[in-house]
Amino acid sequence: MPLVEPQIGYVEWLSYSAWKAGETCHWRFAYARDSRFDSLRRPNQYSLLGTVRHKLEEEAQSGKTLKAGESGELWFSRRWEELISNAEAKLADAWSPARTPRAVHWPNYWEVRIHLEDRLPRLITEPKPADSEDGTHKWVVGLALPDSPMPAVEREIRDSDHGLYGIVDRLEEREGLLVLVDFKSMTSSGPEDLLARHRDQMLFYAGLVHHEYGEWPAVKISIPDGTEITLDYEASEAESIVSRATQFRDDWNTGKVSPPSPSADSCQWCPFQVVCPEYQSEFTQILDTEQQLGRGFAVVDGVVERIVDQGDFLTAVLHQPRNLTCPEGTVELAQLAKELDLKVGQAVSASRVYARSPQAVAAGWDTIVVLA
């Protein structure tokens, strides 16, 4: 896949994450919408562990996967292993042929498991409220409707007036008040930091709920131990977020697309570094000497001159025509999976590499490697 500019297409619906990517860099937003680069957008341990937590919270609240005669503890053990196994398979498939880590080595794995295992078995065995004549509990998953019963999880809400949409983790009524709950699996930050980092996201979702229900919800962030952190906000703040997102969408669709302006803030960990000509051409201007060693910026790009079999892995000796993480010239890219179809004369780009020496880097399991 050579260095190539993304295509600029019309945006009908805009999510929070897409909008934020677009605010950071218009090209990053465009690359994410261009199907030619779908292979560069891959799940990571954080997103997959978060999905497992979301699913277990939903099931514990609804009781819908509890087998007859099964204890809460056995239910949790069974479903945790099933969902984690599925998440490991998704990670391995997305990053093949790299050797991805087992879930027990993922960041926050044990913290999330211990907290959920302590709380959810009790929750799933609690009596569920009956809301139908036959005593069965109706659990709503899917499109938001103002007259649908509460609580609901993984509910998609679309604001057709502004072209915005999102999927809220949990929406419920408490003492006559609408409550929006968002689950977070990363718990190393304190409450104030969590609120600061996710404030715009929660205000975006609050705006969606207000559009659908005509009511401003209470907003809470839930961490794995069940603690809920309340986000205090004014309606005007959420309206401002909705206005900014809508303006971005309108500007984009009327051709007001800014040229890329590579920077340390906008380019760090971008999955499209390996194909972005602006990033690679401006690389030495983006970073200072210390930052060049960070994996979030590290990229090499060159033509294979020689391939060395290192037993379990391959090392590709590249000729790199420009200064990137390594200076122009010969660069060794080590720890490549043997299953890669490497050939002499082939163009190779790799991001998120580990710097070993001025002229050598190594791939990790989550290094993005593109062969042209």
Q: How many domains does the chain have?
A: 3
In a domain, 259, yes or no: no
End-to-end CA distance of the chain: 5
CA 189 to chain centre: 18
pLDDT reported for residue 141: 39
Among 95, 124, 153, give the residue marking a domain's end: 124
Residues 119 and 146 in one domain: no
Backbone φ/ψ region at 369: left (φ over 0), alpha (ψ -120 to 50), beta: beta
CB-count burial class (<10 Å; 0-12, 13-18, 19+) for 263: middle
pLDDT reported for residue 340: 93
In a domain, 8, yes or no: no
Residues 216 and 247 in one domain: yes
pLDDT reported for residue 260: 82
Residues 144 and 248 in one domain: yes
**Per-10-residue mean pLDDT, the chain, length 372:** 85 96 92 94 94 90 86 96 98 96 96 94 76 41 50 86 94 90 77 91 97 94 88 97 97 88 86 92 66 78 96 96 92 96 95 93 96 89
Segment holding 64, helix H or strand E: none
pLDDT reported for residue 318: 97
pLDDT reported for residue 134: 44
pLDDT reported for residue 62: 76
We report the CATH number of the domain holding residue 181 as 3.90.320.10
CA 172 to chain centre: 25
Contact, 83 vs 55, CB < 8 A?
A: yes
Residues 269 and 357 in one domain: yes
What would the two tokens of residue 84 be? 């984690």
Q: How far is CA 176 from CA 183, 203, 215, in A?
A: 22, 21, 11
Residues 310 and 356 in one domain: yes
> Which residues lie closer than 8 Å to 5 by C-beta, 6 or more apart?
27, 277
pLDDT reported for residue 129: 53
Residues 202 and 239 in one domain: yes
Which SS3 state, helix, strand or coil, does residue 16 take?
helix
Residues 183 and 85 in one domain: no
Among 224, 253, 282, give the residue marking a domain's end: 253
In a domain, 268, yes or no: yes
In a domain, 354, yes or no: yes
Which SS3 state, helix, strand or coil, does residue 6 take?
coil
> Which residues lie closer than 8 Å to 107 by C-beta, 6 or more apart?
45, 46, 186
pLDDT reported for residue 146: 54
**Residue 174: CB atoms within 10 Å:** 12
In a domain, 55, yes or no: yes
pLDDT reported for residue 285: 67
In a domain, 312, yes or no: yes
Residues 237 and 158 in one domain: yes
Residues 152 and 224 in one domain: yes
For residue 191, the enclosing domain spans 140-253
> Which residues lie closer than 8 Å to 62 by C-beta, 6 or more apart?
128, 137, 139, 153
What are 130-138's contacts with CB under 8 Å, separation 24+? 137/62, 137/63
Segment holding 100, helix H or strand E: none
In a domain, 62, yes or no: yes
